[in-house]
Amino acid sequence: MEDKTQIQEAIKIQGEVVRKLKSEKASKDQIDEEVAKLLELKAQLGGDDGKHQFVLKTAKGTRDYNPKQMAIREKVFNTIIRCFKRHGAETIDTPVFELKETLTGKYGEDSKLIYDLKDQGGELLSLRYDLTVPFARYLAMNKITNIKRYHIAKVYRRDNPAMTRGRYREFYQCDFDIAGQYDAMIPDAECLKIVHEILSELDLGDFRIKVNDRRILDGMFAVCGVPDDKFRTICSTVDKLDKMAWEDVKKEMVNEKGLSEEAADQIGEYVSMQGGMDLAERLLQDQKMSQSKQACAGLSDIKLLFSYLQLFQVTDKVVFDLSLARGLDYYTGVIYEAVLTQAGVAPVATEAQRGAPAEESVSVGSVAGGGRYDGLVGMFDPKGRKVPCVGVSIGIERIFSIMEQKAEASAEKVRTTEVQVMVASAQKNLLEERLKLVTELWNAGIKAEVMYKKNPKLLSQLQHCEEAGIPLVAILGEQELKDGVVKLRVVSTREEFDIHRADLLGEIRRRTSEA
């Protein structure tokens, strides 16, 4: 009874929380979450009819995939995996959770977004935040100094979800990384080639791949007069340039981060520059920039990178962009990010065009990113031995949304099964004959279905084929059984003809060979 009183009290308080949020016009997500808590409390108390009431939902920021979405997901994955395999990658898998310690100190400010597991006795664990840190842990643990691998798996971030824009708390990453001591920029260029191949093949509209280098950023900060200890924080601010106007970025640098106005203005000049190999050459001659050894090393590598990109035939989409400054701490060299530039593919882009906040308009486009991280594996090695790495991560959720919308818009129906033939009967009492025939088909490797009814109506069997896109129906009736044939019906044309049982397998295979 005491428990019950406590719950009732909690319900009262939670009810007030919800009312307050509603009156304050809080975000829908926030209200939903508090309402869910309220419903859970009420469920604990038990409903009027004494039945336990469940909150029927998935966790905040997550979603189920229905069969149609899975069919699209499979298609996208196949395209990506085909590309990774074409480039000779192996694949590995790591657990969904790691020791909390493994993730500590790798993500800077974003560490607060890591999901921890409850301490139920034993080790302290966290859900993986990306696939890169587990990869580095794997390399160090197994003393691997050489590998080209891909890894497609879900990662977890307690971020503010925006599911209509493809931002989830559980989402897929498709990572391709090359680890090993190699000649400069060759593996880096292959990563960009891979992004180019995948985005072209997925046919998502035009795209651009921005390239920069951490050393150029650092050199630029140095020559612009940013104090050493402010490099990282100023870099984070520059990173916001794809979401904020320069004026606001400058304001943050000067007002919040205490940078001099003069230094900020100098940075402003550089970060407006975009180009190709020519820009790298020009900056190598730049009076100020050329004073930084770091920047020069980065610029020379950008030149080399572009020469390989020419051989790979992908320079049409690649831009050297000094405003690109990816957030993660672990990058040490080249960095890149791919954005979709064709507006109007997704409704979100349309929304952006209509004048939604800049934050939303630009972030829509980013679908891949990565760079070189030569120090991360060394952080795990007891002796600090480094393994140079470069990689790319394809952000698949946004691609899913676009593909889903395309499928929705297209007239073509998305099939969710691959069934080639339905075994049907025209009369009653033929269940046994249907089961015998479908067994014959299954045993021969043919994808076949039968209705789980003793006496299904022919019409309902045919309707199921129409709905599921099954191309053929093998119809059994008294006469067919007597004649040793099956009536094969082509669903799309409704034509029907008798086939000898002995010829049935061949005929089905011939007619569904593209499936």
- Rounded CA separation 368/170 (Å): 17
Contact positions with its own copies (CB under 8 A) in 75-104: 85-99, 101-102
Judged by CB under 8 A, the residue of 14, 129, 131, 137 near its own copies is: 137
Does 254 bind its own copies (CB under 8 A)? Our answer is no
Residue 59 CA: distances (Å) to CA of 28, 63, 112: 15, 8, 19
* Tokens representing residue 97 in the block: 């959770």
220-249 residues in contact with its own copies (CB under 8 A) are none
Query: Which residues partner with 498 through β-bridges?
Result: 487
Gap between the Cα atoms of 445 and 462, Å rounded: 22
Closest CB 426 distance from its own copies, rounded Å: 18
Give the one residue of 255, 287, 313, 513 binding its own copies; rule: CB under 8 A.
313
Tell me the backbone φ, ψ of residue 511, rounded to 5 degrees: -85, -10
| Nearer of residues 223 and 430 to its own copies, judged by Cβ | 430
CB of 362 to its own copies, least distance (A): 28
Contact segment (CB under 8 A) with its own copies among 16-24, 147-155, 259-267, 358-366 equals 147-155
Q: Is 138 in the site for its own copies (CB under 8 A)?
A: yes
User: Given the complex with its own copies, which of 127 and 249 has the nearer CB atom?
Assistant: 127
When asked if residue 14 is in the footprint of its own copies (CB under 8 A), the reply is: no
Nearest approach in angstroms of CB 85 to its own copies is 5
Distance, CA of 331 to chain centre: 20
What would the x/- binding string for its own copies be over residues 375 to 414, using CB under 8 A? Answer: ----xx-x-x------------------------------
Spell out the residues 6+ positions from residue 394 whose beta carbon is closer than 8 angstroms to its own: 80, 173, 174, 175, 176, 195, 198, 367, 368
Q: What's the token pair of residue 290?
A: 């050329």
Q: How many CB atoms lie within 10 A of CB 130?
A: 20
Q: Give 41 or 324: the residue with its C-beta nearer to its own copies.
A: 41
Indicate the residue among 220 and 377 with the shorter CB distance to its own copies.
377
Give the DSSP H or E segment for 88. none
Q: CB 18 → its own copies: shortest distance, Å?
A: 15
77 vs 371: CA distance, rounded Å: 22
Total residues found in the chain within this entry: 515
Q: Which is nearer to its own copies, 96 or 356 (CB)?
A: 96
Q: Least Å distance between CB 79 and its own copies?
A: 12
DSSP one-letter string for 363-407: HTTEEEEEEE-SSHHHHHSTT-----EEEEEEEHHHHHHHHHHHH
Provide the minimum distance between the beta carbon of 118 and its own copies in the complex, in angstroms, as a whole number. 4
Pick out residues in 416-475 that bind its own copies (CB under 8 A).
Answer: 416-419, 431-432, 435-436, 439, 442-443, 445-449, 452-454
> How many chain residues interact with its own copies (CB under 8 A)?
100
Q: What angle do CA 149, 185, 214 make, to 5 degrees?
A: 95
Among 15, 26, 63, 145, binds its own copies (CB under 8 A): 63
